[in-house]
Amino acid sequence: MILASIFAATMSTADSQVLACTAAITDDVKPEWSQEHKTTKIVTLVVAVYATIIALIGQQFPGFGDSVFALVVLAVYGLGGIFVPLLLIRMMGYEPDTEHTIWMMVAALSAVIVWSFSPWGQDIFPSIPAMSSAFVTHFILCWKRSASPSEPFGRYSLPTQRTTTIGAVVLLVLFGALEGTYYTMAPDASEASGDNPYQLSYTVSEWTQSETLSLNDGETQTFSVSIDETMTAVLAATLTITYSDTGETATNACDDIVTSPDYSALAGPFSESDDAERSTNACDTTTVVGSIVPNASLQEYASETGDYTLNGTEDDLIDVLNILGKSPEMMGALNMDVSLNANNGNFFGGDSTESVTVTLSMLVFQPSGMTPLTV
């Protein structure tokens, strides 16, 4: 039902927009076309094709066509930024002409789009810069455009210099009184909850995932591990292999194992990483074949497994807790190709298969919480 409602709303919106655009063309741009049924159908078809092209092109822009909800929110912000300024100036008696109105609408919609993709888009609602842009455009047009009425507030005149001065003085007095009251009655910095001493407790433990690959001579298999957003901060990651060559009869040399780590599917970037291709014949031992240090700055909090504590203010420890609670660099998939080159894989000498155990070991932080310290 939920999917059906989403598709129904999407189709209804698309259909209504196509019809609205068709009506705008046949009734406003070319009124003579409204009496020709064939021409109206052609216009509807052209508008539908145009809307389809826009939808297909929009899908190619990351983040723009990924979510219907995001597009709806963007449209709501755009409508608010466009119509609120126009309604306000009309309520004050100002009557903008078509060009004046279009300029305000374009300014508001452009501000919504630019602000939504800016670094501040998550902090301030895009409708605010959109309405600000529309009002600024309105004032500029009133000032510079001869066809626009010069009084920006319609029936309300701008205050005189004397009135403006009195208003500014009153505001300054009120502001000064409020600031003075806060200065005399505000708590000391040491009384703020964020400055009280706290202790953060956390553990660094080893997280491992292993897989045994059965390889034939000349065969390559891939060891793969997926890491999602639930993984806490990773201090270091190591790839190792272990195998025992027990099938040789004519030689004591172990078969060659070739490894090729691939970190390209991980989010990164890393402070240090080792993804070099290696060939080893060191059987009956654990061999390190790859490593990652996602974030070297984490080494100030720990260097090995164990229990740790960190003292500081509540605000500072919350920042540390946020850092230790996630591992954005390691999100994705870690892959490694493993190949076997048997040195004596023949009828007279020995086996041509090996079982290789590949292990990914990671030192991960596990925060346990903060407790206040008694002074």
- pLDDT digits over 291-336, tens only? 999 998 888 888 889 999 988 888 888 888 888 888 888 889 999 9
Every domain of the chain with CATH number 2.60.120.380 lies at 197-372
Cβ pair 354, 213 in contact under 8 A: no
The confidence band for 188, taking pLDDT boundaries of 50, 70 and 90, is low
Contacts of 80 (CB under 8 A, 6+ apart): 127, 130, 131
Q: What's the pLDDT at 116?
A: 82
- The DSSP result for 8-58, as a single string, is HHHHHHHHHHHHHHHHIIIIII-GGGGG-HHHHHHHHHHHHHHHHHHHHHH
**Of how many residues is the chain composed?**
375
pLDDT, tens digit (0-9, with 9 covering 90-100), for 33-87: 777 888 888 888 888 888 788 777 766 665 555 566 666 677 778 888 888 999 9
- List Cβ neighbours of 299 (8 Å cut-off, separation of 6 or more): 235
Higher-pLDDT residue of 182 and 132 is 132
Confidence of residue 345 (pLDDT cuts 50, 70, 90): very low
pLDDT at 288 over 90: yes
Tens of pLDDT, residue by residue over 232-287, are 889 999 999 998 866 555 556 688 889 999 999 998 889 999 999 999 888 888 99
Architecture of domain 197-372: Sandwich (2.60)
pLDDT greater at residue 163 or residue 111: 111
Mean pLDDT (the chain, rounded): 82
Q: Is the peptide bond before 269 cis (omega within 30 degrees of 0)?
A: yes
Interval 86-96: pLDDT, tens: 999 999 888 88
- The mean pLDDT value for 113-140 works out to 85
**pLDDT the model gives residue 61:** 63
